[in-house]
């Protein structure tokens, strides 16, 4: 089964990279430990945390995955390996800002919403139905692919 996660506030960069590879990750920059654990229980999400005290809490114990590394690169490698995630199977299918699944977006509809040079050079657009952000391919995407390969040693 596909894992859904909720990341503690220390894991912002990890949460973003997990969204880049298409994982379902809730993240709040500011949230109380108590609420974090509650949300994990209510939503059936696994709590990714760097907090050794939180891991030891009775209610959190079965819902936690302890992230060992200090650096997001080590953290990403650890999570990808632990959950056997294929990093390219769902690459950039999720909104990096709000975690919603992206939808294909008619190219004509994008014209008024993206810079002219982007519209002229890109064929495929995706939009976030929740926050309205528009995504397209291009050099940014290629850079992310390269960095991901480097992080994961592929």
Binding residues for Zn ion (CB under 5 A) = 95, 97-98, 100, 128, 130-131, 133
Cβ distance 8 to 50 under 8 Å?
Answer: yes
Q: Minimum distance between the CB of residue 12 and Zn ion, rounded to whole angstroms?
A: 16
What the block records as the tokens of 19 is 């969204």
> From CA 123, how far away is CA 107, in angstroms rounded?
7
DSSP assigned state of 101: B
Q: Which residue intervals of the chain are DSSP H helices?
A: 12-20, 33-43, 52-56, 72-82, 107-110, 116-121, 139-152
Task: State which residue, 82 or 131, has the beta carbon closest to Zn ion.
Answer: 131
Task: State which residue, 98 or 145, has the beta carbon closest to Zn ion.
Answer: 98
Q: Minimum distance between the CB of residue 99 and Zn ion, rounded to whole angstroms?
A: 7
Q: Minimum distance between the CB of residue 102 and Zn ion, rounded to whole angstroms?
A: 8
Q: Minimum distance between the CB of residue 105 and Zn ion, rounded to whole angstroms?
A: 13
Q: Any bridge partners for residue 5, and if so which?
A: 25, 46
Residues 6+ apart with CB under 8 A from 34: none
């Amino acid at each position: 089964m596909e894992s859904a996660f909720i990341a503690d506030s220390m894991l912002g960069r990890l949460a973003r990279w997990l969204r880049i590879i298409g994982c379902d990750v809730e993240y709040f920059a500011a949230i109380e430990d108590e609420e974090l654990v509650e949300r994990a229980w209510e939503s059936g999400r696994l709590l990714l945390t760097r907090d050794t005290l939180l891991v030891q809490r009775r209610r959190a114990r079965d819902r936690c995955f302890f992230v060992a590394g200090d650096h997001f690169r080590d953290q990403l490698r650890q999570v990808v390996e632990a959950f056997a995630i294929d990093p390219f199977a769902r690459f950039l299918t999720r909104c990096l800002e709000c975690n919603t699944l992206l939808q294909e977006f008619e190219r004509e509809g994008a014209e008024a919403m993206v810079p002219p040079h982007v519209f002229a050079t890109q064929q495929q657009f995706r939009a976030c139905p929740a926050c309205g952000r528009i995504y397209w391919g291009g050099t940014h995407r290629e850079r992310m692919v390269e960095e991901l390969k480097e992080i994961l040693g592929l």
